[in-house]
Amino acid sequence: MKKILIGALSGAVVVGAIFFFVMYREEDANQEQEVKGKRTVSADMELINEQNSIEKVIRTTYEQRSYDLSDPLVISDPYSAAPLTALVKFETGEPLEITVTVKGKTKGTDIVKTYNGYDTSHAIPVLGLYPDHENTVIVAGESEDGVVKQKTLSVTTEPLPEGFLTTELIESDPTKMENGLTFLIPSSELAYAVDSNGDVRWYSTFPNSHVLKRMENSNLLYVTKKGDKYNLILEMDMLGQVANAYEVTVSNYEGWGIIHHDAIELPNGNILATAHDGTQYIEDEMIEIDRETGELVDQLNFREIMPEDFYQEYDGPSAEDGDWFHQNAIWFDEDEGDILVSSRHQSLIMEMSYPEGEIDYILAAYEGWPEDYQDYLLEPIGEDFKFPGGPHSVMTLPDFDNNDATKDIMLFDNNIAVTRGDESVSEEYSRGVQYRINTEEMTVKEIWSYGKERGENFFSKYVSDANYLSETGNRLITSGYTQLEDGTMRSIVVEVTGEEDPEVVYELKVTGFEEGDHRQIYRAVRMPLYPEKWDFNLGQTG
């Protein structure tokens, strides 16, 4: 009887222990659920609906009377999104091909666009107006038999907004520069474009963070705010007409950048963007958004790819925020069908398959890598070789050596040893650098660089960019967060030739931001103000 009682009591203890364990695990799981925020990805129609209303007003106004080339309807900043633009709308009795010219202030700064094709109904976007200026705009129509008619218009614009960044021209040789305007893309606030004189010729009133790039259909991929966070991805044209908008929310994320550093258009048309997953870690996941529906269709987390101790034991910058990886760039390698990514806090560049996440190679110093990652690490060649430190902005380059086994990449080497790298030269300079990678032999060597020769004045602890310019072979390099001895902050944007001894052909100094206010220039790109193909259609929003 005693044994039975003891057995019964033992059973009760065991059952109680199991019950306690189950309850504890359930409570622990609930706590984890509370810690992990909810992420939502969806199409957003708010801006599109607003613009539909604007277009109704434009159409109603246009229908009130007749407009022709001699007396067109001129609407400045039609979508209240791009103040240095206008829309000119009119009818003609015979089909005409339209060319629009915004006269520049100096020789070589006219901005001209011919809209190919002949029509009798015309809605002509005008880009490249100067701020705070009475702009001269010439609209010319040529008939199929070569007869030209034209109208000269005057379009007056408002001054730039208060607090707009100051752009100072240091050097300019248009005969050696890549064609196009220089688009200056901040970490936060207003993105804008300047000409060869450094004059502002375009900006958007939609605040921007990190991402402004031209898509295959000639629209812009553009990250902006909804509320107080950068969580809205726009597809819009140069007038600010929005075709698609995608909102990403993370319920427990308190920072200002939900789409935090980059986004690209994939070959399937979807959007791949850097984001957060709502856990205790940030800036270590990419999400793929369906272009048609706005829904989340895939995701890739670097905690599933990198060694566990990289994130579990990380104690570098922003460790208290869980920012162990700090992904800051995505590049799609069209030749391989893979993606390249840049990580500031792991000081690495990595090429990998997407969406599988299978590593092809890792460009990083050797410290701290476990044995099972050794085969992915590239072996450096050359005495003067240096691994990147805290890098940004990776891209693939053309095949310079006609060797299928090699590929050239370009990136911005901030040269700050975060988790690995050469401490002896860390923070002495920053540079744009071109590497050549042999993927068969798993080797890497330096081919070209610019920035080291400028020393600490060109050192950028954060942000920055490096681009290859395909027409000239020049390189456009942005050292976005430089600081003078007196504490003055500035971004330096410089275009140099691709020679062994690079020549500066264009340089800008951007000031007006302060340390920590996130308004520095994150990246700069050179591209034509007008896309090559642009079939603007009033009423195509949504």
What residue segments make up the domains of the chain, in order of their start?
68-156, 166-196+208-527
User: Exposed (0-12), middle (13-18) or buried (19+): which is 359, by Cβ within 10 Å?
Assistant: middle
CA distances from 91 to 111, 118, 125, 355 (A): 23, 12, 15, 50
pLDDT value of residue 1: 31
* CB contact at 8 A, 236 and 222: yes
Nearest by Cα to 328 from 248, 255, 264: 264
Task: Look at phi and psi of residue 189 and say left if phi exceeds 0, alpha if psi is from -120 to 50, else beta.
Answer: left
| Model pLDDT, residue 36 | 85
Could you give the 3-state DSSP secondary structure of residue 346?
coil
Region 166-196+208-527: CATH code: 2.120.10
Residue 219, SS3? coil
Torsion sign (Cα): 307, 313, 317, 323 = positive
- Within a 10 A sphere around the Cβ of 373, how many other Cβ atoms? 16
- Give me Rg for the CA atoms of the chain: 27
- Facing residues of 172 across strands? 506
- Which residue matches tokens 């006219």? 110
**pTM: predicted TM-score of the whole model, two decimal places:** 0.93
Residue pointed to by tokens 């001894």: 501
Return per-residue pLDDT of the chain as tens, 542 residues: 333 332 333 343 333 433 333 343 344 444 434 468 999 999 999 999 999 999 999 999 999 999 999 999 999 999 999 999 999 999 999 999 999 999 999 999 999 999 999 999 999 999 999 999 999 999 999 999 999 999 999 999 999 999 999 999 999 999 999 999 999 999 999 999 999 999 999 999 999 999 999 999 999 999 999 999 999 999 999 999 999 999 999 999 999 999 999 999 999 999 999 999 999 999 999 999 999 999 999 999 999 999 999 999 999 999 999 999 999 999 999 999 999 999 999 999 999 999 999 999 999 999 999 999 999 999 999 999 999 999 999 999 999 999 999 999 999 999 999 999 999 999 999 999 999 999 999 999 999 999 999 999 999 999 999 999 999 999 999 999 999 999 999 999 999 999 999 999 999 999 999 999 999 999 999 999 999 999 999 976 55
Amino acid at 192: Y
Identity of residue 319: A
Q: Measuring CA to CA, which residue among 223, 191, 189, 188 is closest to residue 204? A: 191
Asked if 282 and 255 count as a contact pair (C-beta separation under 8 A), the reply is yes
DSSP strand pairing (379-381 vs 443-450): parallel
Q: 80 to each of 100, 203, 340, how far by Cα in Å? A: 21, 11, 36
Residue whose tokens read 């090559």 = 532
Angle at 311 between CA 307 and CA 314, to 5 degrees: 120
Report pLDDT for 540: 63
Q: How much is the pLDDT for 539?
A: 79
Whole-number Å distance between alpha carbons of 222 and 209:
8
Give, in words, the CATH class of 68-156. mainly beta
468, 396 in Cβ contact below 8 A?
A: no
State how far the Cα of 281 lies from the Cα of 1, in Å rounded to an integer.
57
* Burial letters 281-313, b for 16+ CB under 10 A, else e: bbbbbbbbbbbeebebeeebbbbebbeeebbee
Instruction: State which H helix or E strand residue 54 sits in.
Output: helix 46-62
Question: How far apart (Å, rounded) are the C-alpha atoms in residues 476 and 496?
Answer: 7
CA distance 130 to 283: 38
C-alpha distance across the termini of the chain, in Å: 80
* Residue 108 per-residue DSSP state: T
Number of residues written out for the chain = 542
DSSP one-letter string for 140-206? EEEETTS-EEEEEEEEE-PPPPTTPPEEEEEEE-TTTSPSSEEEEEESSS--EEE-TT--EEEE-SS
